[in-house]
Amino acid sequence: MTARVDALRPADLTAAQRELYDRILDSARATGPRPFPLADEEGRLRGPFNGMLLSPELGHALQELGTVVRYGTGFTRREKELAILAVAAREHSEYEWAVHTHAALEAGVTEEQIAAIRAGDTCALDDPLEDAVLATARELAASGDLSDDAFAAATGTLGLTRLYELVTLVGYYRLVAGQLRVLRVGP
């Protein structure tokens, strides 16, 4: 797949783009070990981050939302990665799949569980909260909604606040998957 938009070079950025670029590279996403650096060897942003530079005001908002979704909810790393993988599998987002498969493995999700999520099969999870997160994320990713029964089950297990956070997390990653698909961004 050939990208539809060339990665912007740091030297070619406007002042507004450069401010966002610096904020992204100083964010929680950029700290710590990553198998997929946010920028290439020439400093061009990878994945969804290059697209954010196309509209810096919108990019700032998305970057902030993404940071809160990843680091500011009540979910464990495993729960977040299960939900993100459910979205990546449903949306056929190879970039999200590649990045978050690695993150899921680091969070203790097994290769067998990851394969089951990708195939849409039953995933053996011992934790009822993780099971609820995955089931809810799968339904949200598939339809953008929850049946009355799924809503009742999710609020019963997760509570209303965590369900709201999960709806937001799934919506954010669906949005990112759409941007990656339209811009033809691969892993």
For residue 31, the model assigns a pLDDT of 66
Q: Residues 41, 104, 112, 145: is their CA dihedral positive or negative?
A: negative
Q: Hey, which CATH number is domain 77-181, 1.20.1290.10, 3.40.1390.30, 3.90.1170.50, 3.40.1160.10?
A: 1.20.1290.10
The residue with tokens 């406007």 is 14
Average pLDDT of the residues of the chain: 93
pLDDT higher than 60, residue 32: no
Closest C-alpha to 100, from 92, 115, 88, 118? 88
Q: What are the boundaries of each domain within the chain?
A: 10-71, 77-181
Residue 95 has pLDDT above 80, yes or no: yes
Beta pairing partners, 39: 45
